[in-house]
Amino acid sequence: MEIFKRNIISIQSLVSAGYVGNSVAGLAIQLHGINPIILPTVMLSSHAEQNIYYGDVVSPDLFKKLIRGICEVGLREETKFAVSGYINTAELIDLTAEFITGWKKVQKEAIYIYDPVLGDTRANGLYIPEAIAKHSVATLLPLCDVLTPNQFELEFIVGQKITTERELVSLITGHPILSSKQVILTSAVLADTIAGQIEVIVVENGQISRFSTENIHIEVVGTGDLFTAIMTSQLANGRKASEAIQNAMNFVCRVLTFTKEKGLTSMSASAIMQAYPSLLL
């Protein structure tokens, strides 16, 4: 297998304790035998939904130095996949766009996966200021090959509620940017979604594919970051998109089932590792 398939660049948050952003993505990527190349956007003691946490946004100067180091040792050329997640300042969004643009010039097979991480219905809206969310969409969406928004985030991007398959396809195919992307809608619940299930719905070139798994009723942060990391790693290891998506869904379902059964309120290393055998099937 070519060397560039063994790295994934991951641009998102980093926490000292817990499993969100790069702190879960890095582990998920390594479980596939792939090297994570970590670019943190914020560094916190724990995720921001904890009652107590400390930390700060990574400064643009430090972010640029990390990028410079990655570039000067040749990692851009050796990496086919990059993912971006939580970024909450315009400066870091712009630097990410600059990095992705430069990476695509030196790696002609580059695939950029944009996970917006703008907000969700569980949080009752946006995680970040609306102006920053709009800047993220305007700046990073045009650069991506694949995007993995949850339903709230896709509705924010298109400016309209989505309740049916027909609405979903129409809004994406009629959008000046989304129409040329592979849109992987996560945590989807449409009017015809089977009770007790949750879906991932893919729209590409006007075609739609729907994948489902059991909806585990537990509030856990970081599951979207985990899903995107598992899916991207599966793709990097040569899986077809349909296999990568279903495998990622099944993995997250197993993690959530374990977490709920053990009475936990957040993901753990034990929850992630007990789901590991499903990646080997």
Report, at the CATH architecture level, how domain 7-274 is classified.
3-Layer(aba) Sandwich (3.40)
- The pLDDT tens digits of the residues spanning 206-218 come to 999 999 999 999 9
Residue with tokens 């879960």: 24
- The pLDDT tens digits of the residues spanning 139-157 come to 999 999 999 999 999 999 9
- The pLDDT tens digits of the residues spanning 92-119 come to 999 999 999 999 999 999 999 999 999 9
Its pTM surpasses 0.85? yes
Phi, psi of 118 (to 5 degrees): -100, -30
Q: CA quadruple 147, 151, 153, 156: dihedral positive or negative? A: positive
Cβ contacts of 248 within 8 Å, gap of 6 or more: 227, 228, 230, 231, 234
Model confidence band, residue 5 (pLDDT cutoffs 50, 70, 90) = low
Q: CA quadruple 7, 135, 87, 255: dihedral positive or negative? A: negative
Whether 179 contacts 172, CB under 8 Å: yes
Whether 116 contacts 157, CB under 8 Å: yes
- The pLDDT tens digits of the residues spanning 37-64 come to 999 999 999 887 777 889 999 999 999 9
Q: CA quadruple 101, 103, 107, 110: dihedral positive or negative? A: negative
Beta bridge partners of 35: 7
What pLDDT score was predicted for residue 52?
84
- The pLDDT tens digits of the residues spanning 190-243 come to 999 999 999 999 999 999 999 999 999 998 999 999 999 999 999 999 999 999
